[in-house]
Structure 1
Amino acid sequence: MSAERFNCHYCKDPLLGKKYILKEDTQYCAKCYENLFSNCCEGCALPIGCNNKDLSYKDRHWHENCFKCGKCGRSLAEKAFAAKDELLLCTECYSSEYSAKCASCTKTIMPGSRKMEYKGSSWHETCFLCQRCQQPIGTKSFIPKENSFYCVACFEKQFAHQCCACKKAITTGGVTYQEKPWHRECFTCIGCKKQLAGQRFTSREDYPYCLKCFSNLYAKKCVGCTKPITSLSGAKYISFEERQWHSDCFICMQCSISLVGRGFLTQRDGVLCTDCGREK
């Protein structure tokens, strides 16, 4: 490049022996470069010249000496800081003004540190402890009780009832039978193992039975159909001389007329209406 052509691209002043700045292979004198390309400082509103450091944050720029905490005025250059709306604050000022206080130790929870939040309160992660074992709960499940928190294992050990069948803790629901706690899934018929929670059942010798098993095992049998007769299901029956019939089965063995409320005669294991009995 010839000497006469080595001039400022904008004002055309000669640059030989002077400080200049190249931008995209084009030379500018310092004054023109600052006027054309320098960023405006957010602090003092003056251009940030080429002899100054340009500190930036989210498309905003500051002189190094203007990059200060908006509350205490301390320099933020090469220090951690936080932003609140358009204001930059050192971590101490931000914490004092805006950070939550730990519900356990009452100290400030510094920005960027791990914390736990529950129902509007905050804790340092290391302060959110199980009341029983005093270990940090962290990301594990927990159970609140009154003003304390418990990990699931400790809550079960301290508060939960134990199922009298499987001996494990009952944490939700459950069934009480003979003043003892059971898991719903553990409270079953002693005969067929069908779950009895929410179902009609009976007992014998302190053991629970569904109606079907109890009837099959202990109910008397109908002389007519040989099936069990049980009052537990609400069925009506007829009893005569230590023999029983379902009401629907108490019929004449010859003409099949119902004998409920009528006179009848017995013949071996059967019964006859009086008309059929006379014929015999």
Structure 2
Amino acid sequence: MASKCPKCEKTVYFAEKVTSLGKDWHKFCLKCERCNKTLNSGGHAEHDGKPYCHKPCYATLFGPKGVNIGGAGSYIYEKPQSEDHPTSPTSPIDSAPKPEERKVNNPPKGPSKASSITTFTGEPNMCPRCGKKVYFAEKVTSLGKDWHRPCLRCERCGKTLTPGGHAEHDGEPYCHKPCYGILFGPKGVNTGAVGSYIYDKEPETKAQP
């Protein structure tokens, strides 16, 4: 049974279908929510289940403000909380600051290597691959999730991927060729500019007689 396109809500037939974000779309319905640019399956960003082009729309709408997200430059790190003096239960009189203490201005401490490098939302997110915290300096965002750079890999072959430079199926990343084509591509359909490709699962190795 043919599925419904999430953009126009009309039936999507096989010949006009592209799959992205776990849904089937008409080829010309897969557009950026902000600028209406036509997108390629797996070649776009995502927010709240809707597709966006990487630049400028996704970066303009959802990119961190004032933070260098390129390869070189500086990052803004959240200042760590001081844990030098553990708190203990005291009376209200003991906890009140003394007059002399109000005049003392301690110099701010710089971020330590062990401190969390977070986004502006506060707590760092969990990597969907390894289940560990993703700090800002090691983060890449794809499929609406934050990943460690080495953890954003093809689900089939383990090849390291770049955000927006891969295909997606059921929320999992795949390299476009050969893995996505082999697993989910149409059989015997020309998907390139020249020649034809026949995608099929890798043949099983048969024992020699």
**TM-score scaled by length of structure 1:** 0.28
- Comparing both structures, which one devotes a greater share of its residues to strand? 1
Larger Rg belongs to: 1
**TM-score scaled by length of structure 2:** 0.36
